[in-house]
Structure 1
Amino acid sequence: MRVLVLGGDGYLGWPTALHLSDCGHETAVLDNFARRKYDEELGVQSLVAIEDLETRVAAWEEVSGKKMPAYVGDLLDADFVYDTLREFQPDAVVHFGEQRAAPYSMIDREHAVYTQHNNVIGTLNLLYAIQEINPEIHLVKLGTMGEYGTPNIDIEEGWLEVEHNGRKDRMLYPKKPGSFYHLSKVHDSHNMEFACRIWGMRATDLNQGIVYGQQTPQTVRDPRLVTRFDYDAVFGTVLNRFVIQAVLGQPLTVYGTGGQTRGMLDIRDTVECVRLAVEHPADRGEFRVFNQMTESFSVKQLAELVSECFPGPVQIDHLENPRVEQPEHYYNVKHTGLVELGLKPHLLSDTLIESMFPIVEDNKHRVDIEKMLPTVRWKNPKN
């Protein structure tokens, strides 16, 4: 198949493109390098140094013998989107091309507006381009488990069967996002479902949990192919922060009680989930949702797991939570769709020992400790 990966220079987009190419698909990448610009804005850098896209693409051709066309442009530029689809003629489009950090969207009004405009309008441009150029194209889009929030009922895979006053219906699962970023993903999901229902498009929404890990079978084949490892308080994950703190001999900083529970998965499972979705497309008119996660942990459990796996003493401290979220909550997520397609999950405990601790140890000289401290608060500082 011909697959176009949007956001193909990013943390997940790049290894996904390599995985699809390695599995025999004719793959191209598209990016506007906004993620690299966020680093410049925030004064941070990936823990692991990454090459520019031109070098990456050339290295992949050298290693694999496979070409990977690269398109540089912005999804907000509708003409660019249309021209790219016409030129590459994809069978599937994998959409990672959005601002992806909840804290970034909560910095202030400007960042909230940017996130919603960038994400929602870019996806709308893409939906129109697919519909007008080739409605057979299968859109595989990265959503987020954060769309659901933390409801006090089981989280189904995108849809909910409802009985009310003696009548039944099937509707999109109610959403209760916790940031303007997550809210932009809810808008995307609604727009995609509308396009499938009204235009007969085919789309798969991958509501993904928190991804950990930095290595895939493809990225380890050459140092020029590595992907990002974010650890700062805006774009980094809590697990990456804990691993770095353990390696540096610092206390693991848990926000609040640590009872916040989230779904998680290994980066190798992420790229495989996308492959499975691409190779088993949704039907015309179908808006299909997969909850893309393999395990769930509370923040406290993550800290305890890092402490257990790390070969040395680890202290756990608790900080005031800068976010507005339930400190303790019910969390039971249905995630059978991708397993039924053949996903064989990796376990976090194995990945910590096999790769995450060694990667941090090799790159600990690049850590800026101050950048791990929380600076963005959810509540309006004027209140």
Structure 2
Amino acid sequence: MQCPMMQNQRAGRRAAKAASQQSVASMRVGGRVCALRASVGRKAASAAQVASRAVSVKVNAIATIERPAGPAPTSSGGGAGTRVMIIGGDGYCGWATALHLSARGYEVCIVDNLCRRQFDLTLGLDTLTPIATIHDRVRKWAEVSGKYISLQIGDICDWEFLSQAFTSFQPEHVVHFGEQRSAPYSMIDRQKAVFTQTNNVVGTLNVLFAIKELKPDCHLVKLGTMGEYGTPNIDIEEGYLTVTHNGRTDTLPYPKQGNSFYHLSKIHDSTNMLFTCKAWKVAATDLNQGVVYGVRTEETMADPMLINRYDYDGIFGTALNRFVVQAAVGHPLTVYGKGGQTRGFLDIRDTVRCIQIAIDNPAARGEMRVFNQFTEQFSVNQLAEIVNREGRKLGLDVVVQNVPNPRVEAEEHYYNAKHTKLVELGLQPHLLADSMIDSLLDFAVQYRDRVRMELIKPAVDWRKTGVKVNTMGAAVAK
């Protein structure tokens, strides 16, 4: 994930770049990595500490776990040494994907500036499951699996850093998770809205230029969102729609109706990708992903230090995650508005498999293909019913409560989205009803002592987004 920049950081970036050559030598793993290390359970830092961290992240540091002498470990199948760069590999989807691919023999390089952690420090949030630092995660993975993940710390909005990362790793595929991914975060205030669109659009543009100039045969796998489509009163196709108008027919990109500054940034990304596929013959797969749930994958459960994050707060937590945590701690399930809002969902185990499928079956040069990446559709009310039913099996007393909706969205609407292409390529979905307890409720019950009740209620109202910086009021509702 990319890091929000404070107003004085432009000057700080120039200073950081000037110092970076001296810093890189001292910032190598095995030589005392000097990087952001947010320890498990650390509370929000002071304003001065946050500013310091924001600037230090901009240093173009490369921190690589060096492979020991001797033959490379034998592949466990699938990847056969295919080189995959995962931008945003310290995040929720990125971390699970990095381990999944590494375990199957792909050569993986994580690129991240650790700013998803910075968001928690800035806003006073914390993941339900305690997560280790990225450096400790990568080291532990090497110990557990015998496989080695390269780690490059820097900001893809910084062309000098990104071009260096591309040149040194020479990726055959780039999986791009590295964007600010929260709709509520983008609606906190003007500063967060501007950051979200600047960071996401510029970062993706830099990746497209890196492919064109440095690795033209590289395949881009970009994480989009089903939220790009909005909730139209017609079926949602996979990326494109064939239209007949005034007697003429054409196949066009499906109309987009983003519902936050975050979703709008994703729409801009898709438009830029489509253009570069035409103009530069970039090969791109746009994965319009639904809401992802779950903590458990085979790799993230191999050791406690490899566990994935679980967000339940009003900024980064989804409705399903919030309901599960509320059930675990005896808090009413807070349904926004009428609860008829319907979306696509998929298990994290299906997310990592979808990424692998996209890599193993790449787009052609000049092709911009779109997959709708989800496996089931549920309304918010249906999610509450499922959590209620499954929670009672564990002896939890679950109550459902409707609350005013902080978002501007249709609360009752038609929703029928196609999602056949990944299944045709071999995806075998996990279903929510089968995995609710072992992949969600078990974790919420196990870690419920870490739940901070004040973070559960929504604190960001779409109607009240203003120019005044609202960091202090973003996470905790008044």
Normalised to the residue count of structure 2, the TM-score between the two structures is 0.79
What residue identity is the alignment partner of 1:183? Answer: L
- The structure whose RCO (Cα within 8 Å, separation 6+) is larger is 1
Q: Name the Cα RMSD after superposition.
A: 0.8
Q: Which of the residues 339, 342, 347 maps onto 2:426?
A: 342
Structure 1 position 352, deviation (Å): 1.1
Residue number in structure 2 paired with 1:378: 462
The offset of 1:313, in angstroms, is 2.9
Residue from 357, 365, 376 that aligns with 1:284: 365
Q: Does 1:238 align with 2:322?
A: no
Q: Is the 8 A contact 2:188 2:465 kept in 1?
A: no
Deviation at 1:356, TM superposition (A): 1.1
State the distance in 1 between where 2:192 and 2:215 align: 34
1:321 aligns with 2:321: no
Distance in 2 between the 1:281 and 1:155 partners? 23
1:268 pairs with one of 346, 349, 364: 349
> How far apart are residue 250 of structure 1 and its match?
1.7
Partner of 1:333: 417
Partner SS state of residue 265, structure 2: helix
Larger Rg: 2
Cα distance in 2 for partners of 1:218, 1:49 equals 16
- The 5 A counterparts of 1:1-383 are 1-310=82-391, 311=393, 312-380=396-464
Q: SS in structure 2 opposite 1:94?
A: strand
- 3-state SS of 1:161 partner: strand
For residues 292 and 457 of structure 2, the distance between their equivalents in structure 1, rounded to whole angstroms, comes to 21
Structure 1 runs not aligned, ≥5 long:
none
Partners in 2 of 1:7 and 1:233 — Cα distance? Answer: 22
SS of the residue aligned with 1:87? Answer: helix
For residues 207-259 of structure 1, give each alpha carbon's deviation from its aligned partner in whole angstroms, at most 9, with x where no partner exists: 00000001101001111111110000000011111011111122110000100
Does the 8 Å CA contact 2:337/2:403 hold for their aligned counterparts? Answer: yes
The one-letter amino acid of 2:125's match is V
In the aligned structure 2, how far is the partner of 1:224 from the partner of 1:84?
A: 26
2: CA distance, partners of 1:355 / 1:196: 38
DSSP-derived class of the 2:335 partner: strand
Cα distance in 1 between the residues matched to 2:345 and 2:104: 24
**In the aligned structure 1, how far is the partner of 2:250 from the partner of 2:313?**
44
- How far apart in 2 are the matches of 1:234 and 1:296? 22
1:381 Cα deviation after fit = 6.1
In structure 1, what residue type is equivalent to 2:380?
V
Partner of 2:36: none
Q: Counterpart of 1:68 in structure 2: which amino acid?
A: I
Check whether the contact 2:171–2:215 (CA below 8 A) recurs between aligned residues.
Answer: no
- Sequence identity of aligned pairs in percent? 58
Q: How far 1:353 sits from its partner (Å)?
A: 1.5
Cα separation, 1, equivalents of 2:329 and 2:215: 52
Secondary structure of the equivalent of 1:220?
A: coil
Q: Is the 8 A contact 2:189 2:465 kept in 1?
A: no
2:355 aligned partner, one-letter code: V
| CA deviations over 1:153-204 (Å, ceiling 9, x no partner) | 1000001111100001111000001000000000000000100011111000
Letter in structure 1 aligned against 2:254: Y
Count of equivalent residues: 382
Deviations 1:294-329 (A, max 9, x none): 001000000011001112331100000000000100
| Distance (whole Å) between structure 2 residues aligned to residue 250 and residue 368 of structure 1 | 11
